[in-house]
Amino acid sequence: MGKYVKTMLFGAVVFIALAFMFGAVSAQEDHAEEATGDKYVGDGLKLIGAGLAVGLSGVGAGIGEASVGAAAVGAMAEDPKMFGKGLLMTVIPETIVIFGLLVAFMIIGG
């Protein structure tokens, strides 16, 4: 497999993990509130889940950006016409952070 395919697969895995984290935090919040009768425990779990969603998606995007960015710079050094394609390929891993941020908003708002 090429590096780009591995990066995209890693991004998909991170996104799926964030989706499962959203469900797990929501379930834990309900159980914590029922068990303790304390609403603040559930709120704390929400904030921990939101922080993990943004942080882990940022790490995943950074790992993907490292390999894609290095390849894009190398391609542009050989052929300056590759600038547009290189720029587009470096932006794609950053969408994972946007998904993480959306999941964090869903966790906090839900």
CATH number of the domain where residue 78 is located = 1.20.20.10
In terms of pLDDT, which residue wins out, 40 or 94? 94
CA angle 29, 34, 36 (to 5 degrees): 95
Q: Whole-structure pTM over 0.75, yes or no?
A: no
Helix (H) or strand (E) holding 1: none
Residue range 46-73, pLDDT digits in tens: 888 888 888 888 888 888 888 888 888 8
Number of independent structural domains in the chain: 1
Is pLDDT at 35 greater than 70 in this prediction? no
Residue ranges making up the domain that contains 23: 3-109
pLDDT of residue 58: 86
User: Taking Cα atoms as reference points, which of 45, 14, 35 lies closest to residue 110?
Assistant: 45
